[in-house]
């Protein structure tokens, strides 16, 4: 028998302490320390069924034989885009999102597509019964003979099922519900999450099983458990969206096999999640025409051009400190652009409240949206609408210049495809590029030039 000792572990960052602390010294969170019991066993290690304990020896990198693993089609073009082309055998993927956002629906539909394609899929759930999974599968039409369902939380029993089924794909819903009997702490604790994730990682790497883990999120939106959890997995996906809205966005924040700039857009309907093929048309479907404060920006989400609507409202205030509010863009970026408009253009916004919103719930991170923000603010301030067939993009510098951006041709072609007539682009981006026919491309060098052109 081993010797037991008590320790206190922060449930947010995993910091350990021999005594209880009100404030965590690692992440500065309050009331996050939970008492856990650790059993110390003087052995070389605990054997896990089905895993080899062969000792690896160092070898020169030039002697390692490289091989291109074929990607597994996940059955969804949007999911394949976010993953970088499909599932990689032996990869460990973590999917997080708010409760009820559609994580289980997405993974059950993906499991169905993979099973229909000839893959053996084991869907392990610790939150629902087999009848509940069956009811959802009937509603989604996700039934296949090679899709196996296991309602279990004990990792030892899960490993036994792995030996029996020998799946190609493993889905665990969720990692916070499974537990390792050798760890003397409650399921969902830092020790259990870390230990179980390590075991599933060894299974994925040694057996070549693509493993998808569902992770709960905290009230701040981060995946619950220690930050080490995101370091251990190969890919971290976040499922975002408003619960009262039918549209969902899948975003990769970490991907060892592809880009982290891609997003996948889905629509939640009665029969499950469907792909949105043209997000630009979706985001612009309810755009008002001839209204001051509204403009269209050409943004890039990875390799996909997306046209979104920016809405600004500038109104006078009676308070000494004006209010600024931004939804979908960085708040500090909004303040910076307001300062540029005041200093370089002469707009007196010190006594004006400014509100900015990106329609459709999109989050714009790239600086190419700066010019659109400035145009929307100026349009609302001067109460002059821009032309409905205009699209703008460009980065704004502190001296008022419009700086060049990348992938200008893709942005302009997307605007041409959706029927826009004119695009305002940075003059620095016109080098070594020929504009297409059917759309007017107007280069500008400063913010003042752009506003004189769009708001004469």
Lowest mean pLDDT among 11-15, 44-48, 279-283: 44-48
103 annotated binding-site participant: yes
CATH superfamily for 73-277 is P-loop containing nucleotide triphosphate hydrolases (3.40.50.300)
Q: Which two three-digit tokens encode residue 164?
A: 């029996």
Angle, nearest 10°, between helix axes 370-382 and 447-454? Answer: 50
Strand partners, 162: none
* DSSP assignment letter at 320: S
Percent of the chain predicted with pLDDT > 70? 92
- Confidence band (pLDDT; 50, 70, 90) for 43? very low
- Confidence band (pLDDT; 50, 70, 90) for 368? very high
The alpha carbon dihedral of 255, 256, 259, 265 has a sign of: negative
Q: Tell me: the pLDDT tens digits for 55-74?
A: 678 889 888 887 676 889 99
Mean pLDDT to the nearest integer, 195-211: 92
104 annotated binding-site participant: yes
What DSSP assignment string belongs to 220-271? TSSBSS-THHHHHSSEEEEEE--TTSSEEEEEEEEETTS-SS-EEEEEEETT
Q: Are 210 and 169 in contact (CB under 8 A)?
A: yes
Q: Tell me: the pLDDT tens digits for 259-312?
A: 887 888 898 888 889 998 888 888 888 888 889 999 999 999 888 899 999 999
Return the pLDDT at 28.
Answer: 85
Return the pLDDT at 154.
Answer: 94
- The backbone torsions φ and ψ at residue 141, rounded to the nearest 5 degrees and listed phi first, read 70, 35
Has residue 42 got a pLDDT over 50? no
Angle, nearest 10°, between helix axes 103-116 and 130-140? Answer: 70
203 annotated binding-site participant: no
The label of the residue with tokens 């809405």 reads: 311
Return the pLDDT at 44.
Answer: 41
First to last CA, the chain: 83
- Which CATH code fits 282-454? 3.30.230.10
Q: Are 310 and 427 in contact (CB under 8 A)?
A: no
58 annotated binding-site participant: no
Domain ranges in the chain are 3-40, 73-277, 282-454
The label of the residue with tokens 């708040």 reads: 331
Angle, nearest 10°, between helix axes 370-382 and 331-340? Answer: 60
100 annotated binding-site participant: yes
Q: What is the Rg, in whole angstroms, of the alpha carbon atoms belonging to the chain?
A: 26
Q: Tell me: the pLDDT tens digits for 241-261?
A: 766 677 888 989 899 988 887
What DSSP assignment string belongs to 100-120? TSSHHHHHHHHHHHHHHTT--
Q: Are 280 and 418 in contact (CB under 8 A)?
A: yes
Q: Tell me: the pLDDT tens digits for 105-160?
A: 999 999 999 999 999 999 999 989 999 999 999 999 888 999 999 999 999 999 99
Strand partners, 265: 249
Return the pLDDT at 41.
Answer: 45
Q: Are 236 and 84 in contact (CB under 8 A)?
A: no
72 annotated binding-site participant: no
| Exposure class string for 309-342: b at 16+ Cβ within 10 A, else e | bbbbbbeeeeeeebebebebbeeebbeebbebbe
102 annotated binding-site participant: yes
Q: Which two three-digit tokens encode residue 112?
A: 């169905």
- Confidence band (pLDDT; 50, 70, 90) for 389? very high
The label of the residue with tokens 């509204």 reads: 294
Q: Are 295 and 375 in contact (CB under 8 A)?
A: yes
134 annotated binding-site participant: no
């Amino acid at each position: 028998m081993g010797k037991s000792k008590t320790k206190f572990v922060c449930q947010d960052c995993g910091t350990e302490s021999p005594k209880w602390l009100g404030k965590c010294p690692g992440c500065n969170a309050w009331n996050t320390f939970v008492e856990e019991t650790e059993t110390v066993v003087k052995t070389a290690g605990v054997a896990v069924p089905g895993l080899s304990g062969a000792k690896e020896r160092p070898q020169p990198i030039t002697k390692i034989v490289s091989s291109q693993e074929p990607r597994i089609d996940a059955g969804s073009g949007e999911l394949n885009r976010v993953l970088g082309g499909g599932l990689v055998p032996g990869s460990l993927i973590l999917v997080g999102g708010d409760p009820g956002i559609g994580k289980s629906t997405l993974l059950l539909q993906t499991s169905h597509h993979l099973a229909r394609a000839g893959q053996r899929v084991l869907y392990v759930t610790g939150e629902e019964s087999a009848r509940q999974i069956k009811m959802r599968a009937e509603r989604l039409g996700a039934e296949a003979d090679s899709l196996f369902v296991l309602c279990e939380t004990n990792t030892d029993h899960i490993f036994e099922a792995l030996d029996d089924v020998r799946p190609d794909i493993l889905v665990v819903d969720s990692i916070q519900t499974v537990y390792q009997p050798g760890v003397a702490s409650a399921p969902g604790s830092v020790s259990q999450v870390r230990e179980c994730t390590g075991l599933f990682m060894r299974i994925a790497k040694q057996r070549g099983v693509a493993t998808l883990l569902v992770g709960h999120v905290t009230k701040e939106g981060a995946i619950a458990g220690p930050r080490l959890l995101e370091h251990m997995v190969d890919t971290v996906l976040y499922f975002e969206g408003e619960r009262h809205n039918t549209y969902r966005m899948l975003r990769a924040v970490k991907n060892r096999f592809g880009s982290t700039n891609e997003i996948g857009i889905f629509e939640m309907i009665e029969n499950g999640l469907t792909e949105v093929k043209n997000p630009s048309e979706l985001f612009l479907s309810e755009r008002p025409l001839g209204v001051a404060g509204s403009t269209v920006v050409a943004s890039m989400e990875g390799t996909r051009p997306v046209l979104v609507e920016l809405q600004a409202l500038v109104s006078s205030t009676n308070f000494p400190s004006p209010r600024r509010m931004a939804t979908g863009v960085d708040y500090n970026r909004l303040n910076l652009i307001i300062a540029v408009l005041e200093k370089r253009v002469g707009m007196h916004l010190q006594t004006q409240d400014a509100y900015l919103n990106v329609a459709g719930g999109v989050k714009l991170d790239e600086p190419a949206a700066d010019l659109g923000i400035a145009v929307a603010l100026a349009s609302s301030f001067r109460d002059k609408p821009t032309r409905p067939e205009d699209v703008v993009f460009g980065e704004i510098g502190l001296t008022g210049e419009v700086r060049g951006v990348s992938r200008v041709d893709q942005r302009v072609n997307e605007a041409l495809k959706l029927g826009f007539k004119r695009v305002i682009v940075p003059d620095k981006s016109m080098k070594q590029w020929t504009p297409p026919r059917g759309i007017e491309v107007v280069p500008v060098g400063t913010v003042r030039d752009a506003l004189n052109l769009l708001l004469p």
